[in-house]
Structures are given as structure tokens and as C-alpha cells.
Amino acid sequence: MKKEHIIILGVETSCDDTAVSLVAEGREILSSLVSSQMDLHERFGGVVPEVASRRHLEIINALIEEAMEEADLNFSDLSAIGVTYGPGLVGALLIGVSTAKALAYTCHLPLIAVNHIEGHMYANFLAHGDLPFPLVSLIVSGGHTNLVYMEDHGKMEIMGRTRDDAAGEVFDKIARSLELGYPGGPVIDNLSKKGNPLAIPFPRAYLEEGSYDFSFSGLKSAVLNHLNRQKLKGEKVNIPDLAASFQEAVVEVLVEKTLAAARDKGVRTISLSGGVAANQALRLSLEQKAREKGYRLFFPPLSLCTDNAAMVACVGYYQYLREDFASLDLNAVPGLQLISSL
Ligand code: KG4
Ligand code: ZN
């Protein structure tokens, strides 16, 4: 790979995955390594922040070296370093941010501050190239649920977000109360295939007329109440039916709100991303409804739905083109939000 190519090193440590990637021209993945900490956090039923930061620190340098070797690059071949600076766990983010700053300083490279949620949105640009604007983007992960109208790169309006739990978070919490392990999304996704999604009529929170916000805490309580009631009555809980009915309630609201947002904004393109975008029922339902209504739907391959650094490098590429660089006093911002820029 020659110097005339724009090559971004992406670094991602916002939660429990340490990830490093090298991406050329915002499209070509030269290397994408994700070191999962699932084994460390599984027995606690969720991510333990201190444990996550320590593991990031232990492996980040070796992971960068490995990615550089895999891509057969020297630091002098790089154009810039893009790093997730929020949102996420502060201690975890700091490992990535400090590492990226140190590298940028010693290698005389520009530093690019990447919003993790934008990273998820850009997994689609990475996978499919330039999507037709304007578009409506649904981002659903363990920490975030956002509906965004995107007019162009760097020009967006935040239409809705969750008012309580994120979509992935409820999958994880329900799985934990069913003692199904962590993360809960993939387990519930699989179990649901054997269950009846119409078995239990769990509530759907559509909120006020015209609202694009989400709320999943009522659904979470309804599922937990159902479980407790069954236990008190001494009745056996049909886990696949419960999983499928819960999943159906989440998917229906996500799909309906996304279609309403696309209709109201008059766009023809919809994109779906984030860890929960790996959910088979969500992919299928949105695909079917989007097709019926004539929308073009884009979602990333499974490997780019959950956290990775290639998506971070892809955002870095577009920021590089706009010369949107950060200074070396960049700090981690755990509560970073997406901000409307229209
Ligand atoms: O994007 P991600 O890797 O991390 C965050 O930024 O949060 O998303 C992880 C979340 C977890 O809550 C996990 O349970 C959920 O994505 N998830 C799924 C599936 N695969 C991962 N949720 C539903 N169905 C899946 N197949
Ligand atoms: Zn994420």
C-alpha cells in the first residue's frame, strides 16, 4: 500500500472489546482485529469496568503491532489515527485515547476523535461504499438506540433516542434473569427461533403520537413480572416462547418507528447498524417491510455489527477528508452524544 492512499489506524476500547484496524480509503480493510473479553465478564453477567480497562491496557500495544504486521505496514505509511473517545466506560476509553495520542505524537500523525455511535453508522459505508443520501439510520447496540436523519457526511439530525434502556441492554437484562449468560442478544435470538412470537402479548411502547423516541423499561418489567407470576403459580416457563414474544415486541417498535421516520423525512434509503442489528428477526422484518414500501435497506455483515475498529477507521477517513482533527489534549468523554448538525 503506497503513501498516496489514505490509510487510517482505528482504535476502539469503549467497552469490553479491544479492537484495532487498518483501513485504506475508508473501504478496504487491511486488518481488523477484535480481542473479546467475553470470557472475563461472562460470570458476572455483565461488563466489569475495572476488569475491562486492565485487559485493554494489557493487550492494546500487542494488538496494534499484530495489525500492522498483518497489513504489512510501517507507521510511516499511515495517514492518521482515529480513536473512539466516547461514549463508553471512562477507564476503558482512556486506554484507547492515551495510546492513540502517544502514537500520534511520536509518529507525527494527525489524531482523529471518533464518536462510537457514528462508528456504528459508518459500518454501512465501510461495507457498501457511499450510501445514497439523504437517509434514515437506526443504530441499536448495548449502550445506544438512536434514529438519525443523515443529509450528508457530517450533516445529521438526531430524530429519536431511548429514554431509558438501550435495545441491547434489555436483551442482556432479560437473558440474565433467565440465567442464559452474557451477552444476551445472540442467545435470545437463537432461542426465539424455536418459540412462538405471538405466545405472550407483551406491551409495545410507542410513546406520544409522532415521537421517534424509544422506551424499553416497561417491556423489561412486563417480562420480569410474567416470569415471577409463572414461578409463583408453580408453572413451568416456556423459555423459547417468552424469548420470541419479548424479541417480537422490541423488533416491532424498532421497525415501525424507523419506517415512520423514513416516511416523514421523505427518504428512500434506510440503514441499520449496531450490535442488535445482528438480530435475525430484526434484519428480516425490516428487510421485508422496507421492500414492501420501496426503500433501499443497508445493513453491515455480522462481523461489522458488533464493536470493531474498522468502523472507527472508516469514520476517521471521512473526518480526515474534512480535516476534522483533534488536538493532543483530547480526553475521553463517557457521556458523549450524537449532536444534530443541520
Ligand atoms: O454494538 P455492540 O457490540 O456494543 C455496544 O456498543 O453496546 O452491541 C452489543 C449489544 C449487546 O447488548 C448484545 O446483546 C447485542 O448487541 N446483540 C444482539 C445480538 N447480537 C448482539 N442483540 C440481539 N440479537 C443479536 N443477535
Ligand atoms: Zn458499540
Residues 187 and 99 grouped into a single domain = no
- Contacts of residue 245, defined as CB under 8 A and 6 or more positions apart, other chains included, come to 195, 196, 197, 198, 199, 200, 201, 202
**SS3 of residue 243 by DSSP:** helix
For residue 326, being part of any structural domain is answered with: no
What is the average per-residue pLDDT within 312-327? 97
Q: 277-308: per-residue pLDDT in tens? A: 999 999 999 999 999 999 999 999 999 999 99
The closest ligand to the CA of 47 turns out to be 1
Ligand 1 pocket, CB under 6 A: 15, 141-143, 168-169, 171-172, 183-186, 189, 274-276, 278-279, 306-307
Q: Is residue 328 part of a domain?
A: no
**Domain identity same for 93 and 137:** no
Same domain, yes or no: 248 and 149: yes
Q: Which atom of ligand 1 is nearest to the CA of 88?
A: 6
CA dihedral of 85, 90, 95, 97, whole degrees rounded to 10? 20
Angle at 216 between CA 288 and CA 159, to 5 degrees: 65
pLDDT value at position 85?
98
Record the pTM. 0.95
Of the candidates 313, 187, 311, 322, the residue with the CA atom closest to the CA atom of residue 247: 187
Residue 324 has pLDDT above 60, yes or no: yes
- As a whole number of angstroms, the distance between CA 56 and CA 140 comes to 24
Which residues have CB atoms below 5 A from the ion given as ligand 2? Answer: 141, 307
Residues 232 and 295 in one domain: yes
Contact between 254 and 282 under an 8 Å Cβ cutoff? The reply is: yes
For 248, other C-beta atoms within 10 Å of its C-beta total 22
Are residues 160 and 20 part of one domain?
no
Ligand 1, atom 8: nearest CA belongs to which residue?
A: 275
- Specify whether 112 is located in the same domain as 137: no
Number of structural domains (the chain) is 2
Tell me the CA–centroid distance for residue 68 and ligand 1, in Å: 28
Do 114 and 175 lie in a common domain? no
Averaged over 241-247, what is the pLDDT? 98
**Same domain for 140 and 282:** yes
Q: What is the pLDDT of residue 72?
A: 97
Say yes or no: 115 and 68 in one domain: yes
Please tell me the residue having the least CA distance from ligand 1 atom 18: 185
Q: Is residue 240 part of a domain?
A: yes
pLDDT of residue 3: 55
pLDDT band at 217 (very low <50, low <70, confident <90, very high): very high
| Residue 332 near residue 90 (C-beta atoms within 8 A) | yes
Indicate which CATH number applies to the domain containing 214. 3.30.420.40
Domain that residue 29 falls in: 7-121+305-321
